[in-house]
Structure 1
Amino acid sequence: MLRKLLIALLPIALLFSIAAQDDKSYSADRFDVDVAAQYDRSLLVEETVTFRFVGGPFSFVFRELPTDHTDGITDIVAGMDGTAWPQGTGPGQVEITGRDPIVITWHLSPTSDAVQTFTLSYRALGVVEGGEAADVLDWQALPDEYDYDIASNRTTVTFPAEAQLLGQPEVLAGKSEITVEGNRAVFTQGNLSAGDPLVVRLNFASGSFSETLPTRQIQTAAQNSRAWLWIVAAVATLVGGILLSFAATRPYRRPAVARAEQLLHKPPNELPPALAASLTGDATASVGWPHALGTLFDLAGRGLVTIEETVEKKWYNNAEFNLTYHPQAANLRPHEQELLDLLFTDKSGAPQTTVTSTEMGKLVTSSRWKRYTDRVKEELRQGGFVDKATEDGRNRVMIWGVAVMLFAFPLFIAAFLLSSFFGYWSLLLVAAVFTVGLILTLAGVSISTLSAGGAQQAAAWEPFKRFLREVSRGKAELPDAAYYDAYLPYATAFGYAGDWMKRYADSGNDRVPAYFRALSPDDGSMAAFVAVMVATSSSGGAASASGAGAAGAGAAGGGASGAG
C-alpha cells in the first residue's frame, strides 16, 4: 500500500521539483567595463558585474572571452566582492579553460537571494590596429550572448596621453551616451535587455601607438598579398572543369532533331503509350506511374482488365475500386505482361484475379515496381531507341561530378582549419572545386540517352503529345467525343489524366469506357470514373516521385556571460 502511495505521489513531487528549479532568476545591477589602451596596442580590461540572485540556489557564474580579433588574452584574474579567487573547481575557486573562447567559471557555494559583485581582469593583446590613415581601436564591451537584464552599464576607455583622438568616439552596435574627458571616453547606458550589444570605436592619428603592428594584422596583410594566387588557382580550376565537362560529354552529343510546329491529331505509329511517353519525357527516358497507368488503360481497352466501383466516394471516405484480370490470348509486349504480373500476383508469385485500388497503391510503391520500369527500359534498348553506351557514359560523368563535389567537403574542412595560415582566400579554390563537380553533374544530367532512332521517334510523337496537352487544357478540340476514350491511355501516360477526364466531363458526354462499371450507372458514372483516375494517380504518386547580435561588428571582445 505504501509503495502504491509513493508511486502516486512521485509525479507530484517531480512537478514541485521542476517548479522549484524554475523559481529562480537573476539580473545585473551593473555591468561596468574599464579599458586601458596601452602603447604596445594591447588593452588592459577590468569587468565588474553585480548580480542580483532571486531564489536559487545558484552554483556558478561564467564568462567567455573570444580571442579572435586579438593576438591572445593573458593575465586573467577573477574574483568576487573585491577578493581574487584561486584557480580550482571547488566553491570559492575560479576555473579557467579553453583557448577560443577562454571560459572563466566562478564556482559558488549554493547561493540564494543574494547580491554579489564579480570582477575579471585580463590583457587583450594586439587589439589596436594600425593604418596609414588612423590607428583604430574596436572593442565589444558587452558579451555577444547573455540572458539577463542589465540595469546600468558604464564603459570607460582610457588611452595614452600622447595619443591623438580623431573625431568623436563611435558606437558601432547598441546605444550609448558618449562623453570625452581628456584621454578618456565614457559610454553610459541603462535598462539593457538580454542580448543588447555594445561595440565602440576610437580612431587615433596614425603613429599614436607602437610601430609594431598586431601579429594578426601582419598575418592578414601577408595572406591578402597572396590572394591573387588563390584567385588564379580558382579560375584555372573552373576553366579546366568547364573544358573537362565539355570533353567528357562531347562523344555523347547528337544533333538536335527538327521539331514539327504543327500539331498531330493521331498517333504517328503503333508504339505503346508507355514507350511513347518515355521517349518524349526527360533525357533519360525515365519511367513513372503515369506510364503504368496508361498501360493499364490500354490493356483494359483491349478487354484484359475491368474496373468496378465497390465503394462510392463520400465526405467521410474515399472511393474504392476492384481491378479484375480476364486472361485471354493476346500478343502482349514484355512490359505489359510485367504490369499484369505486378498487379495480379501476390508476393509469393501466386496468381490472383482481383486487386483493389488500395492494394494497387501499395504495389506501385513496393520493390516489385522496379521490375516494370526495368522492363520498359529494356524494351527501349531492344528497340534501338536508347543507346546503352550513352547511358553508361552519362552515368560515368555524373559519378565523376558527385565524386568531385564530395571531395570539396574535406577540402573545405582543411581550408577552414588552416585559415590561420592561408586565410580564407583558400575557400575560393574549394568553391571552384565544388562548382566543377556541379558542372560535371549537370552536364551528365543533360546528356540524352536516346539513340538517333529514339530521337527521331521522340520528334515524331511530340506533335501528338502537344495536341493531347492542348485538348486537356481546352485549347484544342477532338473531332469526336469517342476519341476521349481512344486516346485516354496516351493522355494518361503523358501525364494529362486528370485534366483529360475533366475536359471529357465538361464536354457533356456521360459515356464511360466499356471496361468501367460504376455503382450508380444512372447517376454520376463520369464522376466515378474521374474518381478512379484521381485515386490511381494519387496512389502512384510516391512511386513516380521516388524513380542580431554584435558579432557582425568584427570587433575584439564580446563572448558570453551567465549564471546558474
Structure 2
Amino acid sequence: MKNGTKIGIALLIVGGVLFSLFARNFSAFSTGDGRSLRWARYDVTIDNVDTSANRYDVTESYVLDIETGPYSFGFAEIPLNRTENIDNVTVSDAGAALTPGCIDVAGYYCVTNDGKWLSIKYFFRSQAQSGQTRTIDIRYTVYGGLRSYEDGDQLYWVAIPGDREFPIDEALVTVNMPAGTPIDKTASYPDTWKENVQGSTITWQSPGVMEKGDELEVRVQYPHNPQMQKPDWQGGYDRERFYVENIQPIVSLILVILGALIGIGTVALVLVRFMTRGRDPQALLAPEYLTELPDEELPGVVGLLLDEKFDMRDMMATLVDLARRGFLVIEQKDKEGVFGMFGSTEFVFHNTKNFAAPLTNYERELMSGIFGYNFAKDEVELSDLKEKFYKKIPGIKKAMYQELIERGYFEKSPDSTRQRWYTMGVIGLVLGFLGIWFSDGLSFISPLIMAPAVGVVIGSAAAFLFADVMPAKTQKGSQAATNWRAFRKYLDDIEKHSDMQQVSSKFDQFIPYAVMFGIEQEIIKRFANVLTTMPTWYYPTSVGGPWGRGYRHNPTPMTGMGKAAPMSGMDNMGGGFGGLNDMSQSMSQGLNSMSSGLTRMLNDASRTMTSAPKSSGSGGFSGGGGRGGGGGGSRGFG
C-alpha cells in the first residue's frame, strides 16, 4: 500500500472517530432555506410559586427581530420528565391573545401532551416579514416541579434551552418567590450570569450574546415546607444524581483506564510484534551495486521479493522472461481500420511448444491462462484474453507467494501475514466505531462510556496501518533483496559503470528484470546504439522489413533458447536484407518498435488480463446534586 493511501486511510480513521464522537450530538440550528431571525430579548419570569401545592407559573417573553422572512409560526418543546404536569398554556402575539385550537391558521395555537413532552405550536396573527419585530409571550403552569428535601426545598428550572435555532442578544431570568420567603442558596449553570438577590426576588442577567447551543439553568433553595409532598419523579432523580456524583466518577475513571489499556496496550503490542518479528534481518553484505545478475532468480519472484506484493508488473516480467527463455514469441501486428483509418495494434502470443524445459507452478498457471489447458493452442491474440484471463490471477498470485516460501525467502506468505493484520484491523475498527455509536444509549452509565471503544479504534488503526510492514524476510531473503537492489542501482547508471559495447550481449538477459523494475524503456534506449542482434522472441511485424511477412513457427528450437540471434539469421523468419544500411535501418526500426510496442503490450496486457465482466449492481444544596433542572427542551420557528 502506497504511503499516500496509508495517510488517506489514517485521516479517514481519525475523521470517523471524530464523526462518531460528535455527529450523534449534532443538531442543525438553521432552517436551511435562507431565512433567519434572532431573539433581541429572551426573558423568563417564574412567579406565583406555591410551596405547599408544588406549583408555579412560567412566562417566556420574546422580542424577535426578523432578519430574513417570512415566518408563519413558532414552537416550544418542553420535557415533562421532571414535572408532574404542565397546564394552563396561553400564547399572545404583541399583547393579543391567540386562540387555542389545533388548526394551522394564523392567530391559533395548539398544545399537545404525550406524557413525555409538552408541545406548543403557535401561528403569528400575520406573517412575520423581513425587517419586522414581533413580541411573543408564552405562559404556562408547572405542577410538581419543586423538589422536597428536609434541609431545604428547591426550585430548579432550565429557563433557556440550548436547543434553539437562533442566537439571543439579551436575556433576563427572574424568580419571584412568595413574599417573606428566606432565600438560602442560589445558583446558575453556567455561573457567568450576573446574579442579583433582593428580598424574595432573584434575577440573572446574561453576560453577552447567547449563541446557538448555549443554555441557562437556575436554582433556588428555600426553607423546607412540610406541607408539600415530594413529587413522584424525585426519588428516581435523586438516585440518579447520587450515582452521577458518587459512583459515576469511579466508573468513568475505570472506563478511561480500560480504554487507555486497550488503546495503548494494543499499539504497544503491534510495535513489539513489528520490532521483534516484522523487521527484515540485516543483510550480511550490502554492495553498492552489482554489474551482474546476483543469481539466476526469476524476475517475477524478484519483484515479489522486493516489495512483498503481487502486482501485474511481476506477471508481465514473467511473461517477458518466458518469451526470452523460448516458451513463446510475442508478435506485434497492425490491424487495418475502415478506409485506412481507425486502425489498431494487436499483440499475438505464439506457443513455441517448448515442453522440455521445466516451469514453476506459477509459470504453468500463466501459460495455461494464455494457451489453454495443457498449452494446447498454437497462438492467441491478446484481445481474446479479455474477461477470461482474470480467473487465473488468484492462482498465479498464490503460486508466486508459495514460491517465495519454497525458495527460503519467507517463512510464511507475506500476503497471508499482511491480510491477517488487515483483517484484525478492519474488524476492530468496525467493532470500535459501532461501540462508539451505540454508546450514546448507555451514556447514563458514564459520559465516557465510549472510552474502551475509542481504545479499540486506536489499537485497530495501529494494526491496520502496520499491516504492510509485518511480513518479514528470512536472512536469505533479506540478503537476496539487498543484492537485487544493488543490481537495480547498476541498471539505473549502467552507462556509468560499464562499456555498453561489452555488455550489449546481456540485453536479452537484462530486459525481463528491467520490466520488473519498470525501466524497460530506458534500458532499450541505452542499448539501442550498441546492439547487433535482435531478440528472437519479440516480432514487430507492423514495422515491415525482415519482419514484414509475419512470424512463422520454426520447428527447430530457437537459437540459445531465446537468446538474441544475429540479424542475418532473420531470413528464415520472414524476409532478407539488402545490405548493411538496410540491416542498420531495420535494427533501428525494430528497436524503436520494441521500445514503444513492449511498453504498450505490457499496459494492454495488464488491462486485458485483469478485465472482468461487468456485474449488474455550586455545591452545598440540600439535595439533587449538580445540574439537572426541569424545563428546557427546544424552541424554534417556521
Task: Give, in whole Å, the separation in 2 of the partners of 1:490 and 1:461.
Answer: 13
Aligned: 1:334 with 2:334: no
Alpha-carbon distance change, 93 to 226 in structure 1, aligned in 2, over 3 angstroms? same
Matching residue within 106, 131, 143 for 2:121:
106
Over residues 393-422 of structure 1, what are the superposed CA-to-partner deviations in whole Å (9 max), with x where a residue is unaligned? Answer: 8766665555444443454345321111x2
- The separation in 2 between residues aligned to 1:26 and 1:239, in whole angstroms, is 48
1:533 alignment counterpart: 599
When structure 1 is superposed on structure 2, of 77-86 and 263-272 the one drifting more is 77-86
Shift of 1:34: 0.9
Which of 235, 239, 249 matches 1:224? 249
Please show how residues 3-402 of structure 1 align to structure 2 within 5 Å: 32-36=41-45, 44=58, 46-48=60-62, 61-63=74-76, 75=86, 77=89, 79=91, 81=93, 82-83=96-97, 86=100, 88=102, 92-94=108-110, 96=112, 104=119, 106=121, 119-121=137-139, 144-145=164-165, 154-158=170-174, 197=212, 199=214, 220-222=244-246, 223-238=248-263, 241=266, 256-262=281-287, 263-282=289-308, 286-303=309-326, 304-308=328-332, 310=334, 320-330=345-355, 331=357, 332-345=359-372, 351=377, 353-356=379-382, 366-387=390-411, 402=426
Contact 1:289-1:541 within 8 A present in 2 as well? no
Deviations 1:488-519 (A, max 9, x none): 211322xx32x442464367649675514274
Q: Give, as a single letter, the amino acid of the residue that structure 1 aligns with 2:44.
A: V
Describe the superposition over 1:155-200 as per-residue Cα deviations: whole angstroms up to 9, x where unpaired. 333367978999xx969xxxxxx9999965666999xxxx974848
1:265 and 1:238 map into 2 onto residues whose CA distance is: 49
C-alpha distance in structure 1 between counterparts of 2:223 and 2:250, whole Å: 20
Q: Which residue of 2 aligns with 1:14?
A: none
The structural deviation recorded for 1:154 is 4.9
What amino acid is aligned across from residue 491 of structure 1 in structure 2? A
The counterpart of 1:448, out of the listed 466, 471, 475, is 471
Instruction: State the AA in 1 paired with 2:394.
Output: K
| Structure 1 residue 65 displacement after superposition | 6.4
Q: Report deviation, 1:273.
A: 0.9
Counterpart for residue 619 of structure 2: none
Amino acid of the residue matched to residue 592 of structure 2? M
User: Distance in 1 between the 2:466 and 2:135 partners?
Assistant: 65
1:89–1:107 Cα contact (<8 Å) kept: no
Q: 2:530 & 2:344 partners in 1: Cα distance?
A: 19
How much has 1:261 moved relative to structure 2? Answer: 1.9
Contact 1:170–1:200 (CA under 8 A) maintained in structure 2: no
User: In 2, distance between residues paired with 1:473 and 1:62?
Assistant: 77
- For residues 144 and 225 of structure 1, do their structure 2 counterparts lie closer, same or farther at Cα, with a shift above 3 Å needed? same
Alpha-carbon shift at residue 153 of structure 1 (Å): 5.5
Shift of 1:456: 0.4
**CA shift in 2, pair 1:29/1:228, >3 Å:** closer
The answer for the alignment partner of 2:439 in structure 1 is 415
Aligned to 2:525: 505
User: What is the SS of the residue equivalent to 1:287?
Assistant: coil
Shift of 1:137: 11
Q: Distance in 2 between matches of 1:507 and 1:327?
A: 27
Could you tell me how far 1:295 is from its partner in structure 2?
0.8
Amino acid at match of 2:332: E
* Structure 2 residue 505 is matched with structure 1 residue 462: no
Secondary structure of residue in 2 paired with 1:342? helix
**Matched residue, 1:7:** none
Q: 1:232 is matched by which residue type in structure 2?
A: I
TM-score for both structures, normalised by structure 2: 0.56
SS at match of 1:367: helix
Unmatched 5+ residue regions in structure 2?
1-32, 147-155, 178-182, 225-233, 544-585, 613-628
Compared with structure 1, are the counterparts of its residues 327 and 266 closer, same or farther at alpha carbon in structure 2 (3 Å cutoff)?
same
1:431 corresponds to which residue? 454
1:28-51 Cα shifts (integer Å, max 9, x gaps) = 5966411347999x9956153669
What is the CA-CA distance between 1:259 and the residue it aligns to?
Answer: 4.8
SS at match of 1:292: helix
Deviation at 1:308, TM superposition (A): 0.9
Distance 1:117 1:350 in 2: 91
Write the deviation string for residues 474-496 of structure 1: whole angstroms up to 9, x where unpaired: 89645436345532211322xx3
Does the aligned pair in 2 maintain the 1:88–1:94 contact within 8 Å?
A: yes
Q: Which amino acid aligns with 1:299?
A: L
Output the amino acid matched with 2:43: D
CA distance in 2, matches of 1:78, 1:460: 87
1:290 positional shift = 0.7
Q: Which residue of 2 aligns with 1:561?
A: 636
- Please tell me the residue identity of whatever aligns with 2:637: G
Alignment length (residue pairs): 485
Paired residue type of 1:376: M
The answer to whether the Cα contact below 8 Å between 1:179 and 1:187 also exists between their aligned partners in 2 is no
Alignment correspondent of 1:471 = 491
Q: TM-score, normalised by structure 1?
A: 0.62
Q: Deviations over 1:115-159 (max 9, x none)?
A: 986544577989xxxxxxxxx99986786435xxx9x96533336
Counterpart residue type for residue 415 of structure 1: S
Instruction: Call closer, same or farther: CA 1:184–1:372 in 2, change over 3 Å.
Output: same
- Structure 1: which amino acid aligns with 2:513? Y
Q: 1:524 to 1:36 in 2, by over 3 A?
A: farther
Whether the 8 Å CA contact 1:404–1:433 is kept in 2: the answer is yes
C-alpha distance in structure 1 between counterparts of 2:526 and 2:159, whole Å: 72
Distance change (3 Å), C-alpha of 1:200 and 1:418: closer
Alpha-carbon shift at residue 88 of structure 1 (Å): 4.9
Give 1:370 deviation, angstroms: 1.6
- Contact 2:100-2:110 at 8 Å conserved across structures: yes
Gaps of 5+ in 1: 1-23, 127-135, 172-177, 547-554
Q: Secondary structure at the match of 2:450?
A: helix
Q: Is the 8 A contact 1:322 1:355 kept in 2?
A: yes
Residues 386, 611 of structure 2: 8 Å contact kept: no
Which letter maps to 2:395?
A: R
Aligned residues with identical type, % of pairs: 15
> Aligned partners of 2:223 and 2:376: how far apart in 1?
90
Segment drifting more, 30-39 vs 327-336 = 30-39
Which SS does the other structure have where 1:280 is aligned?
Answer: helix
**1:376–1:256 distance in 2 versus 1, CA, 3 Å:** same
Which digits, 9 at most, give the CA deviation of each residue in 1:64-88, with x for residues without a partner? 6699xx9789737463534366575
The whole-number CA distance in structure 2 between the counterparts of 1:54 and 1:322 is 68
